A and B are shown apart, each in its own frame.
Chain A
Amino acid sequence: MASERAPRTLFEKIWSKHRIMERDDGQVLLYIDNHLVQDGAAPAFEMLRRRGIAPRAPQRTFATPDHYVPTDSRDLNTVADPEKRRMAEALRQDSARAGIPFFGLDDRRQGIVHVVGPEQGLSWPGTTIVCGDSHTSTHGALGALAFGIGATEVSHVLATQALWQRKPRTMRIAVDGALGAGVSAKDVVLSIIGRIGTAGATGHVVEYTGSTIAGLSMEGRLTVCNMSIEAGARAGMIAPDDTTFQYLAGRPFAPAGQAWDDAVTMWRNLPSDADAAYDREVALVAGDIQPMVTWGTSPEDVVPITGRVPDPAGVSEAGRREALTRALAYMGLTPGTSMTDLRIDHVFIGSCTNGRIEDLRIAAGVVKGRRVAAGVEAWVVPGSGLVKEQAESEGLDRIFKDAGLQWRYAGCSMCLGTNGDMVAPGKRCASTTNRNFVGRQGPGSRTHLLSPAMAAAAAVTGRLTDVRKLLDNAA
C-alpha cells in the first residue's frame, strides 16, 4: 500500500523519531540513544561536577580509553607524561563513579571507540549516536545517525541524554559499478573528498548509496563513513541491509531472540523511500576510482597513485596557489615528481579508519613473503584488543612480524600521537589514517593518506607504490 506521507530519507526517518521538542529558533532537541565516551572526556565530566550534576543515563553511555593509551604495553604507567596518564585514568574514575560500562586497558575488548562500538554491537541501525570525537560519523555505516560533538555538548548529553541541533541538509553520494583489483573503500572515500573538497559537504548529512556501497563489507562501509567529516559532513550514513544485520547478529550488545527479530523488522523500514529528495546529489563511477594517495596537508590534496605532485605555477587563483606552495614546502615535495618516486620512512597501519580485521587481512596479504624495505619503520596497530586477538588467531601477526613490521596493542597511536607515538620531524609516513594536517602525526611530520593495501605496498618497497603492481607480480 502506498504510504500517505511524503517520501523520506533514512536521515529524516531517524531525525523525526528522535525529535523531543522544537525551540522558537527552529533548533530541535534530539534524543540521544547511545553516547560513546573516550579518554578526551575529562573536561566534560569536570563541567558537570562543577554544577553538581551526575550523568543521567549511564546505561546509554559506554566508555573506553583510546587516545592516551600506550601501544607497546598495557601498563598505563609506561606513559611518561603524567597529564596524559591522567586522561586515561580520569575516564576510568569518571565511568566508575557514574556507573558507565567501561572497557579499560586490562580488558581485551578495549580499543578505539569507533572500532569497539560496532564490534560490540553497540551501534544499531535507526539510532542516534554521539561522541566527543569528530569521527563518530563512522557508526553511520550501520544505518545510524552518528556525529561528533564538542566538550560542552558532551556534558549536555551526559546531563540530559539530549542535544539541540539545527536540522542539517541532506546530500546523496552515489557510487556505482565494480571496483578494480587493489581498489578499496579507502580509495572510494579519498576520491569523494578529492572530488567535492573538505568543505564539500559542510552542513549536510551524507547518505552513501549505489551498487558499489551496497557491495562493500561492513568494514569497508565503516571506512567510508569514517571520513565523512573530512568532506566537511556532519555525519555519513548507509542504509541498513542484510550485510548490516549479518554483521550485528550475535554481537554482545545487539538485541537477541525475539527482540532481534522485532528490531530487524523495524530496521528494514529504515532505507530511504524510493522518491525521497536530497538537497544535493553527487555521483561517482567505481571503475574510474584508482588507488589514491594524498600529497598535501589537507585530505582533499589527493591524486591517483599514478599521478604527480601538482605544480603551483599552473594554478590561477592566488590564494590557492599560495596554499599549494606552502603545502609542498611543508611536505618537502618538488612539483611534477611522480608519486611513486617518493621514498618513505614510516608506515602506519591502524586507526578508526583502517584498524579493523579486514584491513589487517588485506595488508597481511600484501606483505606476506616479503620484507619491509631497509630504513623503513612499519607499525601495525589493531583497532581493538579483539581485532588483535582475531588477527593472531589467523596468524596475521606472524606474517607482519616475519616481514619486519611491529605488531602493537590497540589504540589511536600514531594517528594523532597524543599517546606519544609520533612520526619524527621531516619524516615521511604512509598512513592508513584520516588526516594529513600539518603536524598531525607529530610536529613536522609528513603524512600520506592511503589504503591498508597501499600502506603495505609502501612498507615492502620503501616508497609510495601502486599496489596493483605487486598484485600482478603475485599472480
Chain B
Amino acid sequence: MKPFEPLDSIAVPILQANLDTDQILPARYLQKPRSDDFGQYLFRDLRLRKDGSEVPGFVLNRPPYRQGKIMVGRSNFGCGSSREHAVWALYDYGFRAVIAPSFGDIFFSNALKNGLLPIVLPVEVVDKLLDQIAAEQGAQVKVDLAAQTVTAPDGTTHRFAIDPFAKHCLVNGIDELDYTLSQMQHIVAFERRHEAENR
C-alpha cells in the first residue's frame, strides 16, 4: 500500500443514495486478476454504453471531473456485496478518498485496507459539499488526513474521525497483516486455550 498523501483535488459528486457495489463494479469483471486496471470497469454501466461509447451527462464523462481524486456521495455508499473490486476500481481510476454520510460496513473496511480513505461527515455537511461541487465543475476540496479535516470549496473546514490505527497504516502505507503477524504469539496462546475449552 502506498502512503496516503494530502489531497487538494477536484471533487466528484455522485448523487445516488444507497449506491451499491454492483453499480461501482459490475459482477462480470469479478474474475479479472488484480493486476488489471480496474479503473476501466468503474461504474461501467453508468459511465459507458454497451458499445463502449460514453454516456453523455454521466459525471465522470464531464471533463473537469475526470481528474477528481475525491468522490462525494450520499448515505449508505458502497452497500451490497463484499467485493473488494469496488474499492480497487475507485482506487485504480485515481480516487483516494470518498466522503459520505455513511458507508456499507464491508466497503468501509475494504477501503481502509487499500489506501482509499472513507470519510464520514454529517449529512448536512455532505449536502452542502455536494451543492458546491455540483454547481461549480472543478471546485477543489482538500483532505488532510494528518489533521483529519476536509476543506470545502467555500473554505469551511470540517473535522472527521478515524481509527488511530487505520490512520497510522494509511499515513505510512503499512498493511495490517504485518502488525498482526508480529502478534502471532498471542494468537497461538489463545488458540491453545480455546481448543482445550471446546474439546
A161 lies within 8 A of B187 (CB): yes
User: Closest approach, in angstroms, between the C-beta of B28 and any C-beta of chain A?
Assistant: 7
What is the 8 Å Cβ interface bit string for chain B, positions 157-179, against chain A (1 contact, 0 not)?
A: 00000011110000000001100
- In the complex, which residue of chain A has the Cβ closest to the Cβ of B26? A439
B96: A residues at CB distance < 8 A = none
Contact of A443 with B82 at beta-carbon distance under 8 Å, contacts A21-B183, A25-B164 already known: no
**B165 and A25 contact, CB distance less than 8 A:** yes
Do the beta carbons of B33 and A43 come within 8 Å of each other?
yes
A365 to B27, CA, bound (A): 33
Q: Is A153 an interface residue (CB 8 A)?
A: yes
Contacts of A155 in B (CB 8 A): 177
Whether B45 lies near A202 (C-beta < 8 A) is no
Instruction: Indicate if the CB atoms of B110 and A152 lie closer than 8 Å.
Output: yes
Q: In the complex, A159 Cα to B183 Cα: how many Å?
A: 12
CB-CB < 8 A to B83: which residues of A?
40, 150
1/0 per position for B54-95, CB-CB distance to A under 8 A?
Answer: 000000000000000000001110011111100100000000
Task: Tell me the nearest residue of chain B to A46, going by C-beta.
Answer: B34
Contact of A27 with B by CB under 8 A? yes
Q: Is the CB of A87 within 8 A of B79?
A: no
A437: chain B residues at CB < 8 Å are 20, 22-23, 80
A-B contact pairs, 26 of them (CB 8 A): A25-B163, A40-B30, A43-B34, A43-B84, A51-B177, A83-B31, A83-B32, A134-B81, A134-B106, A150-B106, A150-B110, A151-B110, A156-B176, A160-B181, A164-B176, A168-B105, A202-B76, A259-B199, A319-B15, A416-B27, A435-B22, A437-B80, A438-B45, A439-B27, A440-B22, A440-B27
Instruction: Give the residue of A162, A322, A326, A439 whose beta carbon is less than 8 angstroms from that of B22.
Output: A439
Residues of chain B with a CB closer than 8 A to A326's CB: 16
Q: A27-B165, A31-B191 known; 16 other A-B pairs, CB under 8 Å?
A: A21-B183, A26-B163, A31-B194, A86-B31, A134-B81, A151-B84, A159-B181, A160-B184, A166-B163, A202-B102, A229-B80, A234-B105, A323-B18, A418-B30, A435-B81, A439-B27
Total number of A residues with any Cβ neighbor in B under 8 Å: 67
How far does the Cβ of A85 sit from chain B's closest Cβ, in whole Å?
9
Q: Is A182 an interface residue (CB 8 A)?
A: no
Q: How far is the CA of A7 from the CA of B93 in the complex (A)?
A: 49
Contacts of A31 in B (CB 8 A): 187, 190-191, 194
Q: Cβ of A199 and Cβ of B76 under 8 Å apart?
A: yes
Chain B residues with CB under 8 Å of chain A are: 15-18, 20, 22-23, 26-28, 30-34, 45, 50, 74-76, 79-84, 87, 102-106, 109-110, 113-114, 163-166, 176-177, 180-181, 183-184, 186-187, 190-191, 194, 198-199
Interface residues of A, Cβ cutoff 8 Å to B = 17-18, 20-21, 23-27, 29, 31, 40, 42-43, 46-47, 51, 67-68, 81, 83-84, 86-87, 132-134, 148-153, 155-156, 159-162, 164, 166, 168, 198-199, 202-203, 229, 232, 234, 259, 266, 298, 300, 319-320, 322-323, 326, 416-418, 435, 437-440, 443
Tell me whether A319 and B17 are in contact (CB under 8 A): yes
Give the distance in Å from the alpha carbon of A23 to the alpha carbon of B102 in the complex. 24
Which residue, A31, A40, A42, A150, has most C-beta atoms of chain B within 10 A?
A150
Contact check, A29 vs B183: say whether CB atoms are below 8 A apart.
yes
Q: Across the interface, name the chain A residue whose C-beta is closest to B45.
A: A439
Q: What is the CA–CA distance of A46 and B75 in the complex, to the nearest angstrom?
A: 33
Shortest CB–CB separation between residue B193 and chain A, in angstroms? Answer: 10
The answer to whether A199 and B74 have CB atoms under 8 Å apart is: no
**Smallest CB-CB A-B distances: 9 pairs:** A150-B110, A199-B76, A150-B84, A151-B84, A152-B113, A148-B82, A437-B22, A134-B82, A25-B165
Chain A residue with the shortest CB-CB distance to B164? A25
Which of A21, A151, A203 is the most central at the interface, judged by chain B CB atoms within 10 Å of its CB? A151
B18 surroundings in chain A (CB, below 8 A): 198-199, 298, 300, 323
Is A438 a contact of B22 with CB atoms below 8 Å? Answer: yes
Give the Cβ gap from A295 to chain B, nearest Cβ, in Å.
Answer: 15
| Shortest Cβ distance from residue A59 to the other chain B in the assembled complex, whole angstroms | 11
Asked if A24 and B22 sit within 8 Å, CB to CB, the answer is no
Chain A contacts of B106 at CB under 8 A? 134, 148-150
**When the two chains form their complex, are residues B84 and A29 in contact, meaning their CB atoms are under 8 A apart?**
no
B180 near A160 with CB under 8 A, answer yes
Is B163's CB under 8 angstroms from A27's CB? yes
Q: Are B31 and A81 in contact (CB under 8 A)?
A: yes
Within the assembled complex, what's the spacing in Å between the Cα atoms of A40 and B17?
Answer: 27
Q: Which residues of A contact B199 (CB under 8 A)?
A: 259
Does the CB pair B177–A84 fall under 8 Å?
Answer: no
Query: Which residues of chain A are within 8 angstroms of B113 by Cβ–Cβ distance?
Result: 150, 152-153
Q: Which residues of A contact B16 (CB under 8 A)?
A: 323, 326
Q: Contacts A162-B180, A199-B18 known; A149 to B82 CB distance under 8 Å?
A: yes
Give CA–CA (A24, B169) in the complex, Å: 14
B31 A87 Cβ-Cβ under 8 A? yes
